[in-house]
Amino acid sequence: MKNYHMLVVPHLFLKFKSCHSAWPESVIASQAGVQPALAASAPSGAEASRGCLRGTPSQYLSVHPPVVLPANGPGAFPGEWQGIIPSMFEIVFLGTSASAPSAKRGLSAQIVKHDEFRFLIDCGEGTQRQILQSGIGFRNLKNIFVTHGHLDHILGLAGLLSTFMRWETIEELNIYSGKWALDRIHDLLYGVVLRGGQAAMLLNLHEVKPGVFFETNDFTVTAFPVFHRGSDSLGFKFEERSHRPFLPEKAEALGVPFGPIRRDLVDGKTVTLEDGRKVGPEDVLGPLKPGVRMVYVGDAGTTEDLVAVCQDADALVIESTYLEEEAGMAKQFSHLTAKMAAELAAKANVRQLVLTHLSRRYREKDVLAEARAVFPTVHVARDFDVYSFKQEG
């Protein structure tokens, strides 16, 4: 069952997380823009000030769709969300364990979503089952980014391809990674799964070099080098293009109705109102501002070389395999401690830090405590957690 989190940067943070004890019946909501049905039950005091929305996913979903997006129209949410569906990056964690699965954590895999686009990052053993259990399904899952070629990050590709060939209508599958990883992926898919045969869809293996390698009208994905035991490891930076935010108060003052006409203005088009008046983008759009930036780092052994690419990111998702008490082992196997990840977040001035790739030897609360001592806005991901990152405006 998925657990929904929203990190709206920089002012709103809503978090939904499972726990094993009985959950309170009330739904606790941040006062920073929750639907009236939810805000009515929001308490005052410390819990509300933390911006936490608590309740079982089934409780929450009974009154609100996933991703915490409101309905369009007056009174849905304040600000630019009235009449304009905001864009955001959403990450769904499918596997958060390091090296080997545990009873509660699968091997590395996560899906990043932006509008209709879905990107699978890494594909550890058992990923296809995690995709099904999460409720996401395989629809439109045709782009896979692989950080590096170690087996706990690629073995799931064999089963995923086999399932796609038998049951799914997918016309094209694109796998992006460095050369060393692609060589291993080629051996796995063509030597084990296909064994001289042909895939039922167009199967493309794309070698990725540092720089922008995937782009749309709305966002880009940039690869950057990551040091990890000599492999050509990569990290990925998802970045929305700069945009001028829609100003609903100006639109309302001009009598611009809700609906597609507002989208046309956001797209830079001049529109004509029913009374014949013309309204241009300059009348309802604010100053240019940068889009949301989310940085994903898989296995890594150093952080000094990552500060620049992470600088001022809205979110940093990164491995945290060890605790500082075993920093020597972390260095030996080229991994990070929770403290190292937190220090990177602090140096790079990121807004939110999400830790993943945890060793089975540690308790989640100890990982969180070590990181939080250095960087307060940190979260430890669990399998099926969902985080959404959005800027206001």
Q: Find the mean pLDDT for residues 197-213.
A: 95
Q: Residues 363-389: what's their mean pLDDT?
A: 97
Whether the per-residue pLDDT at 63 is higher than 70: the answer is no
| pLDDT of 34 above 90 | no
Domain boundaries defined on the chain = 1-86, 90-243+291-393
Nearest to 238 by CA among 314, 178, 307, 182: 314
Give the pLDDT confidence of 328-348 residue by residue, as tens digits: 999 999 999 999 999 999 999
Q: 152, 232, 314, 385: which is the annotated catalytic residue?
A: 152
- pLDDT bracket for residue 392 (50, 70, 90): low
- 167 pLDDT band (50/70/90 cuts)? confident
| pLDDT tops 60 at residue 38 | no
The answer, yes or no, to whether residue 388 has pLDDT greater than 90, is yes
Instruction: Please state the rounded mean pLDDT for residues 55-72.
Output: 29
pLDDT at 2: 55
CA-nearest of 167, 109, 115, 117 to 142 is: 117
Contact by Cβ (8 Å): 104, 114: no
Nearest in space to 117 (alpha carbons), one of 221, 255, 192, 189: 221
pLDDT digits (tens, 9 = 90+) for 111-157: 999 999 999 999 999 999 999 999 999 999 999 999 999 999 999 99
Share of the chain above pLDDT 70, in %: 77
> What are the C-alpha distances in Å from 292 to residues 60, 289, 322?
26, 10, 29
pLDDT of residue 65: 29
Give pLDDT tens digits for 18-28. 333 322 322 22
pLDDT of the residue at 4: 55
pTM higher than the cut 0.85: no
The CATH class given to the 90-243+291-393 domain equals alpha beta
pLDDT tens sequence across 278-325: 999 999 999 998 999 999 999 999 999 999 999 999 999 999 999 999
Computed over every residue of the chain, the mean pLDDT equals 82
Residues 347-357 pLDDT 10s? 999 999 999 99
Instruction: Mark whether 152 is an active-site residue.
Output: yes
Answer whether residue 238 shows pLDDT above 80: yes
